[in-house]
Structure 1
Amino acid sequence: MDFKAKLLGCGAAVAFTLAAVGGAQARDVKIVVGVPPGSGAEYGVKAFAEDLAERTDGDLNVRIFPPSLLDLKQTFGGMRDGVVDGGYLVLNYFPSDLPEAMLPIELAMLGKNPFAMAGAMSEYIVTCEPCVEERLRNNQVPLGNASTGAYGILGTSPMTTVAELEGKKLRAAGGAWSRWAAAMGAVGVSLSGNEIFEAVSQGTIDGAMNAPSELSSIRLIDVATDVTTNMPGGTVHGLDVMSVNRDFWKSLSDEQRRDYLDAAALGNAATTWKFANDVAENIELAREQGINVHEASPEALEKSNAVIEADLENIAKIATETHGIENAGEKIQRFKELVAKWEGLLPMDRDWTAEEIADVYRSEIFSKIDESSYGL
């Protein structure tokens, strides 16, 4: 069965529909979220859907389709081919199609503040001509990014010092975390998400470098005894919940594109807020369950920061040799500056609402996009 036939067959399986308010002029926007309900991505798309319907007086109404239509890896092609108008993309999955986007994604270990990382990634991508061009070649228009919460260490013993890390086998989500582990005296182990619980419970690994939200989402709370909250850090900030099919984008009026951009700011903010809030809630849950919650020692943090800085040369080399990126060092420096800028705009020393974060994204990024020319 081809994708378009599959789409027609999934009409009854729509997870979330906003009824049209604008009568005959109303139009459905088909967005697929290729992960189970309850995810940060679904939360963000629902917030976007409500905001878009309100901004357009019901002329654009979102229908959210479940993973049974397109999974995470199928969504890229499905959006490109017009099976859906938009969808949740984890850009890390598509390095050969999106080599320019891989560079800031590889800078994962700079991530301490998810709100800042989503802002930095969004601003970098939409103002990077090669980044936009590679999406347009795939018949897609990038509309910002979201981020996971910052990674910690979820393990079966304290891991807060260099001595405690020595020889520990830790699940690593990618190359940056694996290199960090090796430089800190540990061993990075590549495992898929659904393998982590069994590996920790059987003692195959000593823990996982993951966002603390995984305590509940993959039940590590049942086997972990210790959590380090502020090391190693790092975020997955190539989460793309708002980008759209280019033909769909061209079919909108300038006014509709402006409304879509402004609502997309909230979609990115709400997705990131949900991931960050899940981290905070899981840390509190861990304490309630008697799990030891630690911060890394100053000495370990000092070494960690030095390791992360030194690894930038490796990332530049990977970008140049593997992805064919020109001027990788300059682009890395630009992204570092954007991270610093956004850490100043959205500091983590206060509580933010998704709406407040979205206002900053609109002011600094989305209001500066020309809806009459961008992506056309």
Structure 2
Amino acid sequence: MKPNQTMLAAAAAMSVLAAGTAGAETYSYASFNAPSHIMVRTLGSGWADQVRETTGGEVDFEIFPGASLMPPLSMLQGVGDGLATAAHLAVPYYASDLPINYVAGELGFANPDYFALAFAYADYIVNDPAAHGEWRAQNVVPMGTISTPNYYYVCKDVVTDMAALQGKKVRSPGGAWGRFTTDVGFVAVSIPYNELFTSMERNAVDCAAMSTADLVSGATVLELVKSGSVLKIPLSPGYNSAHNAINEDVWKSLTDDQRRAILDAIAVGMVRAHVGYEAEVAKAEQAGRDAGMVFIEEMDEEIQAFYDDWNTRNLQIVIDAAKERGLEDPGAVLESMQSYIDKWAGLIDGVARDDEAALTAILKENLFDQIDETAYGMD
């Protein structure tokens, strides 16, 4: 049987890892995002560059972007099994394996500050025992989170009101996005992010719930939607992912100094990613306007009334659905996660979102400097 490209890439990655000599190792990092995506540039290659520099080349990561090593749905198991040393693991892909972390990602509609959400989830997966334990049960040590900016509906046609959106096929990440997308009248379609461009090109979807930054980076769909619109219904950011989750066995094999280098580089990369996202959103939206896209900045009265009513009902829907899936106390999960969101919203309140130095200092002082590299993930 002829091996497929994913199998070949995985085998190559394992060979790279095995080829390292004592004191100098090259590991693999997998992402489903394109090389141009800001997540890859900051918390992928940028993070790897800092780790390499800090450790004097003792620890290096080869970056496999664009799902070239394995598809998104396989990455959690892939990291746990050591097929990839580390990866960007987006929890919505692994709801059955990480049910607590999945529910913790349902608070974005009520808390739209994506900086606070990202920093809070990073804190949560380190310090909440139940959430942390789910990752460890997969042989994965969680660390490093990133949130997208708020998602909006980006459509190939001009969609301005409830009537225009009825029946249109929309790529949605699932969870609260999928529920709202269906309830408001769209037809939610579940496809991996890395297939978005092709799906739009082939008219398999009419719209996508996405960050407008992806008009010109990542999925880079601007050429497909330049005659369309952005409907700015403020959907939840996507914040519950461990962007630098690492295989537990590899983590334990590193020295204390190497683990500290990885943690410090994550703190820098997290802030750089979010500051960069702010700039990319502004740039992408201007590019969309220049190309002729229509931006609907405010919801009309009908959509606004629907949105407000839906948002008041959403958390109870989350709780009821989680109980049906077997999660014993989803209310306690939401309460715990909300406490971290409140903490970080307070810590960064009033801090300019382009002040990389100030945000990095806050993130390090209140989280990463408190992580004991001699003990974290070593039990």
Give the TM bin, normalised by the shorter chain: 0.7 to 0.9
1:88 alignment partner, SS class: strand
Equivalence for 2:150 = 150
Equivalence for 2:284 = 282
Equivalence for 1:112 = 112
Equivalence for 2:255 = 253
Q: Distance in 2 between the 1:212 and 1:106 partners?
A: 21
Equivalence for 1:61 = 60
- Give the counterpart letter for 2:286 in structure 1: E
**Residues 313, 147 of structure 1: CA spacing in aligned structure 2 closer, same or farther, 3 A cutoff?**
same
Give the alignment of 1:104-253 within 5 angstroms: 104-110=104-110, 112-155=112-155, 156-159=157-160, 167=166, 169=168, 171=170, 172-181=172-181, 183-184=183-184, 186-192=185-191, 194=195, 207-216=207-216, 217-223=219-225, 224-229=227-232, 231-253=233-255
Q: Which structure 1 segments of 5+ residues have no match?
A: 15-19
- Give the counterpart letter for 1:26 in structure 2: A
Which deviates more, 142-151 or 186-195? 186-195
Q: Distance in 2 between the 1:158 and 1:366 partners?
A: 43
Which deviates more, 330-339 or 165-174? 165-174
**Residues 12, 138 of structure 1: CA spacing in aligned structure 2 closer, same or farther, 3 A cutoff?**
closer
- 1:170·1:209 contact (CA, 8 Å) conserved in 2? no
Q: Distance in 1 between the 2:376 and 2:314 partners?
A: 35
TM-score, L = length of structure 1? 0.82
Q: Distance in 1 between the 2:300 and 2:351 partners?
A: 19
Equivalence for 2:51 = 52
Matched, 1:309 2:308: no
Q: Distance in 2 between the 1:100 and 1:268 partners?
A: 23
How much does 1:302 deviate? Answer: 6.4
Q: Distance in 1 between the 2:95 and 2:190 partners?
A: 19
**Residues 134, 97 of structure 1: CA spacing in aligned structure 2 closer, same or farther, 3 A cutoff?**
same
- Give the counterpart letter for 2:238 in structure 1: V
Q: Distance in 2 between the 1:120 and 1:250 partners?
A: 25
- 2:154·2:230 contact (CA, 8 Å) conserved in 1? yes
How much does 1:84 deviate? Answer: 2.9
How much does 1:151 deviate? Answer: 0.7
Equivalence for 1:38 = 36
- Give the counterpart letter for 2:288 in structure 1: A
Which deviates more, 340-349 or 364-373? 340-349
Q: Distance in 2 between the 1:255 and 1:10 partners?
A: 24
Equivalence for 2:327 = 325
Give the RMSD, CA atoms, in angstroms.
Answer: 3.5
- 1:114·1:276 contact (CA, 8 Å) conserved in 2? no
**Residues 253, 115 of structure 1: CA spacing in aligned structure 2 closer, same or farther, 3 A cutoff?**
same
**Residues 278, 188 of structure 1: CA spacing in aligned structure 2 closer, same or farther, 3 A cutoff?**
farther
How much does 1:247 deviate? Answer: 1.0
C-alpha distance after superposition, 1:256-311 (max 9, x if no partner): 22222111222333444444443322111112122222322485556524422320
Report sequence identity in percent. 24
TM-score, L = length of structure 2? 0.81
**Residues 198, 71 of structure 1: CA spacing in aligned structure 2 closer, same or farther, 3 A cutoff?**
closer
1:115 alignment partner, SS class: helix
How much does 1:251 deviate? Answer: 1.3
